[in-house]
Amino acid sequence: MEALLWLIPALPLAGAVILIVTAGKLSRNLSALVGAGSVGLAALITLIIGFGFIADPAHTFHQTLWTWINVDGFKPTFAFHLDALSMVFIFVITFVGFLIHLYSIEFMHDDEGFSRFFAYLNLFVCSMLILVLADNLVLMYLGWEGVGLCSYLLIGFWYQEEKNGYAARKAFIITRVGDTAMAIGLFMLFQHFGTLNIQNILTQAPQTWTIGSETATAIALLLLGGAVGKSAQLPLQTWLPDAMAGPSPVSALIHAATMVTAGVYLIARTHVIFELAPVAQQWVGIIGAVTLLIAGFSALTQFDLKRVLAYSTISQIGYMFLALGVGAWSSAIFHFMIHAFFKALLFLGAGAVILVLHHEHDMFKMGGLKNRLPVIYWTFLIGSASLAALPFVTAGFYSKDQILWLAWAGEKGNLWFFLAALIGAFVTSIYTFRMVFLTFFGEEKTHVGHHAGKLITIPLIVLAVLSLVGGFIELPHTLGHVELFSGFVKPVLPAVEMRPGAESGEWIIQLTAATLCLAGIYVAYYFYMKRPDLRRELKSSMIVTNRFWFSGWGFDALYDTLFVKPFVYLSTRNKDDAVDRIYEGIVSGLNRVHNVFAQTQNGVMRWYIMGIVIGAIFVLSIGLILT
Amino acid sequence: MNTISVEAGLILAGILFMLGLISVMIRRNIIFMLISVEIMLNAAGLAFIVAGARWAQPDGQVMFIFILTMAAAEVSVGLALILQLYHQLKTLDGDAANKMKG
Amino acid sequence: MEATFYIASAVAVLATIMVITRYNMVHALLYLIVSFLAIAVVIFVLGAPFIAALEIIIYAGAIVVLIIFVIMMLNLREETVTQEKTWLTKEVYVGPALLSVVLLAEIVYIITSGETTSVNQPVIDATAVGVSLYGPYVIGVELCGILLMSGIVGAYHLGRQKKKIVHRFLEKIEE
């Protein structure tokens, strides 16, 4: 069955090609069938392959389709490599992708660009699958840029509004900064190994470099640059909140569940290099820790429902980076999977709420939706609980708890990582339930329009179920000790080494985390339900901090002053392009000469013949003189 | 017994060519210009014949036939152009057809 | 044989000079026929009887007749002769003639500067030419066929005289 692997990216690609070629001529039903159907089939094939794979997770499957380029030793192939890590990713991409496609059929139903939307979405799914299945880094880069392109197209999907185009360009340019770093990293890898085949590099790297080698560190840092750009981590995180300009399913699929975790995938995939470069790996952890705090505090002050979720996404990916930084590879991937479920759920729920409230994004204008939209309320609540890591019942608790524990007890963990993660967890539960209370509780402020149909509610319910039970495949030592997930990815990602002397005490950390989560919920309840006046007081007393957090810690303004303004200044100064003057001079000189010679072209034929004769005399004379 | 020098033949061709060239340059009547071009082509052909005779090869004569063919085609198209030009401009003055200029 | 060559050459040159100095077009054409006939003699003397025949048939025959046809079609009368007189003035022909003489002098110098060789080969008859034409030059023959074809099509296209057709190069004249 694994021979069908190539169909998984090929089907969405075929769907995209059909939708692009027909250019909106297909009826809506047919477009939806092509768009969602192709991804659905891909998901089905993934499931079939997956069942075969679970039996023996240690084996890998390699499928070479054709040689892509062949230039003097540089010979990347169009080949797919399936192992446990890519299995997890293609499962999440196709499965969550399919649910979001289903949801989009109803969500986008009245949109003019219905067919265009599915074309982009299919192309995205295809690119993302190529990214995670690629057996060499060049092919991976193709997928990497492909998802970047689709992200750009989908953020700017409603291109008639200028700010959407701006957001799309911002996302594209900022991720490009990271991509450039990554490309340089790839060049260096090729220089050292003469190949970009991932498996070859991973086997050769430990033989070539010693631990802490400068080259390895440089390459790891460059790859980290790429990962940081794509995954919206510090310092390239500013594009993600603006990326919410796209339709909600896009935010769910691309800017929460899949594309933004490409950085996590990259680091996990090349973990061997990072293990050889402890400094770079530590930086991964530091970036993750700082990002999760910054984004968490920013999420506290937002009033746009989708922006809260955007900052929360940045923060959760920060957790994944933190896990990668302490070497807890499988925990990062586990959190990725659980996060994909509950964050897609939250975005889809938020999209549904926004849809029924006639495109109202402001949480303070919502409220009281609990009884109006029971299905959305319950699923959203489950997603929020999972995000806030409500103890014992939600999947988010198990995945996040593992990261907390390893940030403390892992060999590369330390107190600071642990504290950051702990504070982040507290903040997470505050902003999550602030969101829930503002949206669904209190009095009704905006009239509810039409109700959500089955195509919206079914994906929500499926994702809600996954957000609850998804965690039970990996339970900590203290609670049942199930290691299905880490056992599954173990052939690819080694288990984390424990710090000596930190084996015990896991239950204390779990208890602390659980307490903090509940405390966070209570704080949210206290300020937003019980004593709203106190909140206003607090807000006015901390107005500066509030503004600072609201603007995402002023990074946009900082970059504006540091890069954009000097650049704009220089380009205005050089509007007439100093270098261009030289060429303009040449052009005008030639123009003048041309005008002189144009005079000789007077249309009188005899004149031309005379010219030929004079030329002949000239040439013959030269010939005679020279001989 | 054939003792004609090659130079004499070539110089004859050169003189004829030059006469044709002078005529092309001094005439304004386009029919005269066409006639002069014929003279020049003929002179060029003559030069080939002389060369062919010098090496005793038929190639010179082959080239003459090619030139002849070319001259026939050229004169037919040229005369058609002259007719067209005369209908447009109502004159045979070659200088009148000077609209194509820089 | 040598004498024949020089006499024929002299006739050809003189006849050509007469061609280029005539004001009357038909007179010029008559001299042109003489010139072609003289050249035919030269060619014959040089040992190419087939080409001499072609020279007479096609140059002196077909091409000149074609030009005469056109003169008849255009119905050119005495006024063209007077017009020609006004066009062919001294200042018009001195410059080009001088230039051409310079060019001729150079060519003559180049031709005569080498060693003198004489044409002392036997006659090359039509058979040899034919064998050569359809042997190594067969592609040239085919190209000639294409050229003649395009000549016919081009002449037909350009020679048509529909009233409304104004050639695109000459459109502006009608304004």
Reading the block at residue C119, the tokens are 């044409």
Instruction: Mention every residue, 6+ apart, whose C-beta is less than 8 A from residue A517.
Output: A388, A389, A390, A391, A397, A425, A426, A429
| Interface contact flag, A598 B102, Cβ < 8 Å | yes
Asked if A285 contacts A228 with a C-beta cutoff of 8 angstroms, the reply is: no
Domain total in chain A: 2
Residue with tokens 């002050």, as numbered in its chain: A301
Pairing of strands A474-475, A77-82: unpaired
Q: How confident is the model at residue A417 (pLDDT cuts 50, 70, 90)?
A: confident
Give the domain extent around A608: 576-626
Tell me if A580 is assigned to some domain: yes
Domain identity same for A537 and A616: no
Q: CB-based contact (8 Å) between A602 and chain B?
A: yes
Where is the domain boundary, A494, A519, A541? A541
Question: Are B102 and A597 in contact (CB < 8 Å)?
Answer: yes
In a domain, A473, yes or no: yes
CB atoms within 10 A of CB A458: 15
Residues A228 and A287: beta-carbon distance below 8 Å: yes
Q: Does C123 touch chain B if contact means CB atoms closer than 8 Å?
A: no
Q: How far is CA A624 from the centre of its chain?
A: 76
Query: Which of helix, strand or coil describes residue A65?
Result: strand
A350 contacts A248 by C-beta, under 8 angstroms: yes
Judged by CB atoms closer than 8 Å, whether chains meet at A621 and C109 is answered as no
| C42: Cα separation from own chain's centroid | 15
CB of A597 within 8 Å of any CB in chain B? yes
Q: Which of A613, A625, A627 to mutate to test the interface with C (most CBs of C within 10 A)?
A: A613
pLDDT of residue A409: 81
pLDDT-derived band at B70 (thresholds 50, 70, 90) equals very high
Please check whether residue A210 touches B, CB under 8 A.
no
| Of the ranges A603-612, C28-37, C106-115, the best mean pLDDT one | C28-37
Among residues C29, C20, C34, C15, which one has the least CA distance to residue C84? C20
Q: Are residues A586 and A525 in the same domain?
A: no
Helix (H, G, I), strand (E, B) or coil at A603: coil
Other Cβ atoms closer than 10 A to C117: 10
Flag if A603 and B97 touch (Cβ within 8 Å): yes
Q: Does residue A28 form part of some domain?
A: no
Percent with pLDDT over 70 in chain A: 99
Nearest residue on chain A to B27, alpha-carbon basis: A606
A444 with A583, same domain: the answer is no
Both A370 and A503 in one domain: the answer is yes
* Amino acid identity at A588: S
Quick one: pLDDT at residue C172? Answer: 55
A506 and A602 housed in the same domain: no
Same domain for A434 and A352 = yes
Least confident of A69-73, A380-384, A582-586: A69-73
DSSP assignment letter at A451? P
Same domain, yes or no: A534 and A582: no
Is residue A15 in a domain? no
What's the pTM? 0.67
* pLDDT for the residue numbered B41: 94
Closest residue by Cα to residue B17 from C28, C26, C18, C100: C100
Q: Which of residues 586-625 of A touch C (CB under 8 A)?
A: 606, 610, 613-614, 616-617, 620-621, 624
Token pair recorded at residue A8:
């998984």
| Domain final residue, candidates A541, A558, A589 | A541
Residues of A in contact with C99 (CB under 8 A): 610, 613-614, 617
Does the pLDDT at position B13 exceed 90?
yes
Among A232-236, A367-371, C31-35, where is mean pLDDT lowest? Answer: A367-371
Q: Which residues in B lie closer than 8 A to residue C98 (C-beta atoms)?
A: none
Distance from CA of A599 to the nearest CA of C (A): 20
**A513, A584: one domain:** no
Do A581 and A523 have their domain in common?
A: no
Q: What is the distance between the alpha carbons of residues A38 and A27, in angstroms, rounded to a whole number?
A: 16
- Domains of chain C, with CATH numbers? 2-129 (1.20.120.1200)
Per-residue pLDDT band at C165 (split at 50, 70, 90) = low
- Kindly list the residues from chain C whose CB atom is less than 8 angstroms away from the CB atom of residue B86: 74
Shared domain for A332 and A423, answered yes or no, is yes
Verify cis geometry, omega within 30 degrees of 0, for the bond prior to C136: no
Q: What is the pLDDT of residues A144-177, one digit of tens each?
A: 999 999 999 988 888 888 888 888 888 898 888 8
In a domain? residue A429: yes
Chain C contacts of B55, Cβ < 8 Å?
121
Arithmetic mean of pLDDT over chain C: 84
* Inter-chain touch C25–B60, beta carbons under 8 Å: no
Which of A76-80, A575-579, B5-9 is least confident? A575-579
Q: CA–CA separation, A132 vs A90, rounded Å?
A: 7
Q: Is A4 within a domain?
A: no
E strands present in A436-583:
474-475, 482-483
Helix (H) or strand (E) segment spanning residue A82: strand A77-82
Is residue A626 pLDDT above 60, yes or no?
yes
The answer to whether B42 and C38 have CB atoms below 8 angstroms apart is no
Going by pLDDT thresholds of 50, 70 and 90, the confidence category of residue A540 is confident
With a CB cutoff of 8 Å and minimum separation 6, the contacts of A521 are: A388, A390, A429, A430, A433
The answer to whether residue A328 sits within a structural domain is yes
Chain B closest CA to A615's CA: distance in Å? 14
Question: Are A385 and A457 contained in the same domain?
Answer: yes
Residue A115 lies in a domain: no
pLDDT at A66 over 70: yes
| H/E segment holding residue A186 | helix A162-193
Contacts of A597 in chain B (CB under 8 A): 102
Q: Which residue from C minimizes the CA distance to B100?
A: C169
Strand segments (E) across C6-163: 118-119
Please tell me whether residues A410 and A461 are part of one structural domain: yes
Question: A593 CB near a chain B CB, below 8 Å?
Answer: no
Last residue of a domain, one of A498, A521, A541: A541
Bond from prior residue into A235 cis (ω within 30 degrees of 0):
yes
Within A209-304, residue ranges assigned H as helices are 214-230, 239-242, 248-252, 262-269, 271-276, 278-301
Contact flag A613-C96 (C-beta cutoff 8 Å) = yes
Which residue of chain B is at minimal alpha-carbon distance from C3? B4
